[in-house]
Structure 1
Amino acid sequence: MTVNTTSEISADRALKRERLCSLLRAEDSSVWLSSPAAVAWYLDGARIHTSLVGPPVAGVLVGRDVEQVVSFSNEADRLAAEELPAGLELRTVPWHAPLESALVDIPGLRREVDMEPEVRAARAALLPRELARFEQLCAETAALLTTHLRTFSSRRTERQLAAEISAGIVELGADPVVVMIAGATRLTYRHPLPTDAPVGDRAMIVVCARRHGLIANLTRWVRVGAPHPEDLERERRILAVEAAYLGATRQGRTLDQVLREGAAAYAENDFDAEEWQNHHQGGAAGYAGRDPRAAPETPDMIQDQQAFAWNPSAPGAKVEDTVLLDGAEIRPLTVDPSWPSVTVNGIPRPVTLEV
C-alpha cells in the first residue's frame, strides 16, 4: 500500500535519495537500508524501533526506480498512521519472517552492510529540516539539565537524579538513550551507570537524548559550594585539550587526523600522554551516538554542516557537547546560555555549576 498521512513531505528526502543513488553504479540498482541510523535518517526521524536496544522494525529499499518501506505486518498500521513520511510505498512481511524476505528477485540489489562507509558519508552533512530539528533537541536538552541541576541536592542518590532527568527527556518527546551519573565517590569512572550512592558535593552527569532519530550528547558538572583550586585547574586543562579537537575539526580532514591532534594535546596540557587511551574521544554525531566514533584508523572525511561530539576526559575531568561545523566555524548546539561558561578560542564552553 502507499502511505498517505497528514505529515509533511520532507524537502530533504529527495536530496537524501539522490545522495544514495549517486553511490549506485547501475541505473536499475538499489540499496537496502537496515541499520537504525540509516533507516531513521532516510525516513525523516521516524521511530522505527519498539525497543531502545532492538533492531529496526522496518527497512527501506531505495533506488532511482524504487522507494519502498518494508515493515513487519504487526507494525504497519502504527508506522503508516504516526511515523512514516507521506507518499512512500509500504510492504509488509509476517512478524516471524525476516524483513529481508521481501527482497526477492531484485536485480542490482546492494545491502547497506556492504557499503556502510559510503552510506554513513551520505548522511553526514545535515540538511536544513533535520538540522532545525537537531538544534531544537540540543537546546531543549541543555536547558533541561540546567533546570534540573539548579536544584541539585547532595542528598539525592545517583539513581534518583537519573530518574528525574530521564523523565524530563521523555517529556521532551525524546528517548533517554544514555543517562549516567557519577557522584563524588565515583568520579574516576568514565561510564558511570547510576547506583544508590548519594551524589555528594560533586557530580558528573552524562546524557544522550534521541528525537527524530538524532542524538544530542552532553556532559555537565555540578558542585555544592566553592570549587577546589585543583578542580578548576583540571577543568581548564581539559578544555584546552577539547580546544585542540575542535580546532582540528575542519572540512576535508579525516577523523583519525583530528584524533591524533587532539590526543597530542593531553601531554601539552600536563596530562599523561596516553590518557586518550583510557576512554574513547568522541567523533561525528547525528543518527548514532557517534557516527562514527573516531579511532586511530577512521578515514571518514569531515563535511561542512556535520555534527560532532568530542569528549576528552581524565580522572575527575571531562567535557562534552554536540557542535556543528558551519563553514569555518564551530557552533555549539548544546550550550545553554543560562549555564555558566568560559570562552575558549572564541567558543563558549560549559564549566562547573555551583549551587
Structure 2
Amino acid sequence: MTEKLERLQRILADWRLDALLLTRRDNIAWLTEGGSYYVVERAQIGVASLLITPTSVLLLAPENELPRILAEEPMPFTCEVQSYPWYQSLETVLANASPGIIGSDMPFPSTQDIQQPMVQLRQGLNDAEKQRFRALGREAAGIVEQVARQLRAGVTERAVEAEIVKNCLERGIRPVCTLIAADERIAAYKHPVPGAKRLEKQLMMTLGAERAGLNVSLTRMVHLGQPAADLRQRILTLAEIHADILMATAVGRRWQEVFADIQQAYQRHGWPEGWRSHHQGGPAGYDCRDWIVTGETSGAVMADTAQAWNPTLSGVKSEDTTLLTDKGVEWLTRCDAWPLIEVVRGDKRWQIADWLFLPSS
C-alpha cells in the first residue's frame, strides 16, 4: 500500500462515501505513479477504472483492455481485478458490485462528484514525482530550444510544431499543447494554434508537455535580427513582472493575496490593465494547470507543488514551470543553454527567459 492510497482510503469517511470510482487519466496517473489507462490520445477519461473502498482496490477493465494494462501499466499496490465484455457498460458492472454510496471523478449515474476535492488532494509532490518532474522539464525545454536554434525565415508554424511533436514523442513525452505564432499573430492571439503563416522576424513557441501524468509548460521567443526598441523594452518589463509573481508565490500565502500582487506588479511596471488580457497561470501537476488563479481562488500556496505562471504583454509572453518547496523556487523547464534576463529582488536573483536572437539572413 502507498501513502497516496492510504490517504485516499482515510478520506472516504470525511467525504461520507463507501467507495470511490476513479476513471479520469489525471487521477489514475496520480494514484498509480504514472499509469494512464488511455487509448485515445486526447481523451480525458481512460478505458479502465479503479474502485477504492476503505480496505481494497478493484481494477475494472474491459476484457480487450485488461491484458495490456496488467502487463505495462504501473500498479504500486495490491488490487483485485474484474474484467467485463467490451459490449457491457461499466454502469452495469458497478451496479452488480453494490458498493454503497459511491463518489466518482466523472459524471456517472447515482454517484457524487468528487473531482474538485480530488484536485486538492493531489497537491504536494513526493520525492519520486519531483525527480520525474525535473527530468520532464529539462527534456521539454531542451526540445523547444533545440528547434528554436534551427529556425530560419520562411518556415511555417506547422513545420515548427511538427518538429517539436516529433522530438517529444521520441522521448515518450505527450505534447498536449503546442502553440506557435509568427510575427503579427503573437500579439493578435493569446492561444495561437499553429497555421500556415511563415516566419519573417519573430516567433513564439509554447509547449505543454506531459509524461507519466505530470505536466510542464514553457514558452520561448525567437527574433531574427534585433527587435525594435519598444519590443525589446516590453520583454524586459515582462521579466520584471514575472519575477514579482515568483516573489509573491510563497508557501502559506493565500491565493487571493498572490493574485492581488500580480495585479499590483502590472500596475507598478506601467501596464495597469495588462493582467486583464490573459490568464496568469497557476499551480500545475497532473493537469496543465490544476486551476487558474484569480481573485476568487480559495486556499493557500502549498509546499512541494509546481507552479506554471505565464505573464503576458502585447507581443511577448514569459512562461516556465517551477517547483516550490520550503527552501524556495527551483526551475524545472530549464537546461542551462538559453539567454536569460537577470532581475534582482533584494537578496534574490531571478533569471527569466529572454529572446533568442538569430541572424536575420
Note whether the superposition's TM-score is higher than 0.5: yes
Q: Which amino acid aligns with 2:166?
A: A
After superposition, where does 1:87-106 map in structure 2 within 5 Å? 87-104=78-95, 105-106=98-99
C-alpha displacement at 1:108, in angstroms?
Answer: 4.2
Q: Does 1:23 align with 2:22?
A: no
Residues 143 and 167, structure 2, Cα contact 8 Å, conserved in 1? yes
State the match for 2:352 in structure 1. Answer: 349
Residues 284 and 291, structure 1, Cα contact 8 Å, conserved in 2? yes
State the match for 1:66 in structure 2. Answer: 56
C-alpha displacement at 1:255, in angstroms?
Answer: 2.8
C-alpha displacement at 1:270, in angstroms?
Answer: 1.0
State the match for 2:47 in structure 1. Answer: 57
After superposition, where does 1:210-249 map in structure 2 within 5 Å? 210-249=210-249
Structure 1, residues 304-345: CA drift from partner, whole Å, max 9, x if none? Answer: 100010111121111110101111411110022011112234
In the superposition, relative to structure 1, how do residues 198 and 322 fare at CA in structure 2: closer, same or farther (>3 Å)? same
In the superposition, relative to structure 1, how do residues 263 and 153 fare at CA in structure 2: closer, same or farther (>3 Å)? same
Identity of aligned residues (%): 30
State the match for 2:110 in structure 1. Answer: none
In the superposition, relative to structure 1, how do residues 81 and 241 fare at CA in structure 2: closer, same or farther (>3 Å)? same
Q: Which amino acid aligns with 2:125?
A: L
Q: Which range moved further: 323-332 or 281-290? A: 323-332
Tell me, in whole angstroms, the C-alpha distance in 2 between the residues paired with 1:98 and 1:243.
51
After superposition, where does 1:1-150 map in structure 2 within 5 Å? 14-25=2-13, 29-54=18-43, 55-85=45-75, 87-104=78-95, 105-112=98-105, 114-150=113-149
Name the SS of the counterpart of 1:182 in structure 2.
Answer: strand
Q: Which amino acid aligns with 2:57?
A: E
C-alpha displacement at 1:93, in angstroms?
Answer: 3.3
Residues 22 and 50, structure 2, Cα contact 8 Å, conserved in 1? yes
C-alpha displacement at 1:19, in angstroms?
Answer: 2.1
Residues 58 and 99, structure 1, Cα contact 8 Å, conserved in 2? no
Gaps of 5+ in 1: 1-12
C-alpha displacement at 1:28, in angstroms?
Answer: 8.3
Residues 26 and 36, structure 2, Cα contact 8 Å, conserved in 1? no
> When you count strand as a share of all residues, which structure comes out higher?
2
Structure 1, residues 15-37: CA drift from partner, whole Å, max 9, x if none? Answer: 11122123222798332223221
Tell me, in whole angstroms, the C-alpha distance in 1 between the residues paired with 2:357 and 2:11.
51
Q: Does 1:159 align with 2:149?
A: no
State the match for 1:202 in structure 2. Answer: 202
In the superposition, relative to structure 1, how do residues 68 and 179 fare at CA in structure 2: closer, same or farther (>3 Å)? same
In the superposition, relative to structure 1, how do residues 254 and 98 fare at CA in structure 2: closer, same or farther (>3 Å)? farther
Residues 255 and 283, structure 1, Cα contact 8 Å, conserved in 2? no
Name the SS of the counterpart of 1:70 in structure 2.
Answer: strand
Structure 1, residues 10-65: CA drift from partner, whole Å, max 9, x if none? Answer: xxx61111221232227983322232211111121113221232221122222330
Q: TM-score, normalised by structure 2?
A: 0.89
In the superposition, relative to structure 1, how do residues 159 and 18 fare at CA in structure 2: closer, same or farther (>3 Å)? same
Tell me, in whole angstroms, the C-alpha distance in 1 between the residues paired with 2:327 and 2:194.
38
Q: Which range moved further: 252-261 or 25-34? A: 25-34
Tell me, in whole angstroms, the C-alpha distance in 1 between the residues paired with 2:91 and 2:328.
42
State the match for 2:109 in structure 1. Answer: none
Residues 12 and 54, structure 2, Cα contact 8 Å, conserved in 1? no
Name the SS of the counterpart of 1:31 in structure 2.
Answer: strand
* Moved beyond 4 Å, runs of 4+: none
Tell me, in whole angstroms, the C-alpha distance in 1 between the residues paired with 2:275 and 2:88.
44
In the superposition, relative to structure 1, how do residues 116 and 260 fare at CA in structure 2: closer, same or farther (>3 Å)? farther
In the superposition, relative to structure 1, how do residues 199 and 72 fare at CA in structure 2: closer, same or farther (>3 Å)? farther
Q: Which range moved further: 316-325 or 251-260? A: 251-260
Q: Which range moved further: 303-312 or 326-335? A: 326-335
In the superposition, relative to structure 1, how do residues 183 and 77 fare at CA in structure 2: closer, same or farther (>3 Å)? same
* Matched residues, number: 342
After superposition, where does 1:160-309 map in structure 2 within 5 Å? 160-188=159-187, 189-271=189-271, 273-309=272-308
Q: TM-score, normalised by structure 1?
A: 0.90
In the superposition, relative to structure 1, how do residues 284 and 28 fare at CA in structure 2: closer, same or farther (>3 Å)? closer
In the superposition, relative to structure 1, how do residues 199 and 96 fare at CA in structure 2: closer, same or farther (>3 Å)? farther
C-alpha displacement at 1:91, in angstroms?
Answer: 2.2
Tell me, in whole angstroms, the C-alpha distance in 2 between the residues paired with 1:255 and 1:97.
45
Tell me, in whole angstroms, the C-alpha distance in 1 between the residues paired with 2:209 and 2:282.
17
Q: Which amino acid aligns with 1:299?
A: S
Q: Which range moved further: 25-34 or 71-80? A: 25-34
Residues 10 and 54, structure 2, Cα contact 8 Å, conserved in 1? no
Structure 1, residues 212-245: CA drift from partner, whole Å, max 9, x if none? Answer: 0111100000111123222221011112222222
Tell me, in whole angstroms, the C-alpha distance in 1 between the residues paired with 2:17 and 2:298.
30
C-alpha displacement at 1:122, in angstroms?
Answer: 1.8
Residues 208 and 217, structure 1, Cα contact 8 Å, conserved in 2? yes
C-alpha displacement at 1:151, in angstroms?
Answer: 1.1
In the superposition, relative to structure 1, how do residues 119 and 179 fare at CA in structure 2: closer, same or farther (>3 Å)? same
